[in-house]
Structure 1
Amino acid sequence: MGVKLEVFRMTLYLAFPVAMFWISNQAEWFEDYVILRKRELWPPEKEGQHQEIEEFKERMRKQQEEKFLRIAQQNS
């Protein structure tokens, strides 16, 4: 019984990682699980959202420039 048990255990030890690797590399599983989960956590940007972010960055940059100009004029 010892040899049969060892062969069974070795088969199990080798089959489990190979099966997990095979399952996790299936394209259908990847798309169904990983990509949909990613979209659920981080939804794609809405149209116009990028423009709003760029406008916000521009307003912040102008405010910083104005602040630095006021500080420079006060120190002169």
Structure 2
Amino acid sequence: MGGWLLEVGKMALYMAFPVGMFHFFNQPEYFEEWVVKTRRAIFPPDSKTHREELEACMRQMQQRRDRELMRQLEESDES
């Protein structure tokens, strides 16, 4: 057998390797650029015209839904 020194060395390696990998891969400078680039690709910054078009569409949908609800209420009142 290897003896107690080999066992201590193996245990040190078993404990140091995951801690070292965690420390290495948890450094923000290694992945900050990648995260920012990916976030911009998924969620591009809003432009003013895009935001205005989105709000106009939301208003149209709300008005259409309100008209439909009013029509349904009037039909139910007549019945």
Q: TM-score, normalised by structure 1?
A: 0.75
Displaced runs of 4+ in structure 1, greater than 6 A? none
Which protein is bigger by CA-based radius of gyration? 2
- Quote the offset at 1:20 in angstroms: 2.1
Matches within 5 A, 1:1-76: 1-40=2-41, 42-47=42-47, 48-76=49-77
Cα separation, 1, equivalents of 2:33 and 2:4: 42
The structure-2 alpha-carbon separation of the partners of 1:18 and 1:73, relative to structure 1 and needing over 3 Å to count, comes to same
Cα separation, 1, equivalents of 2:63 and 2:7: 73
**Structure 1 unaligned spans of 5+:** none
Compute the RMSD of aligned alpha carbons: 1.9
Residue identity over aligned pairs, in percent, reads: 33
CA deviation string 1:25-56 (max 9, x = no partner): 2121131233323333x132341322222211
Q: TM-score, normalised by structure 2?
A: 0.73
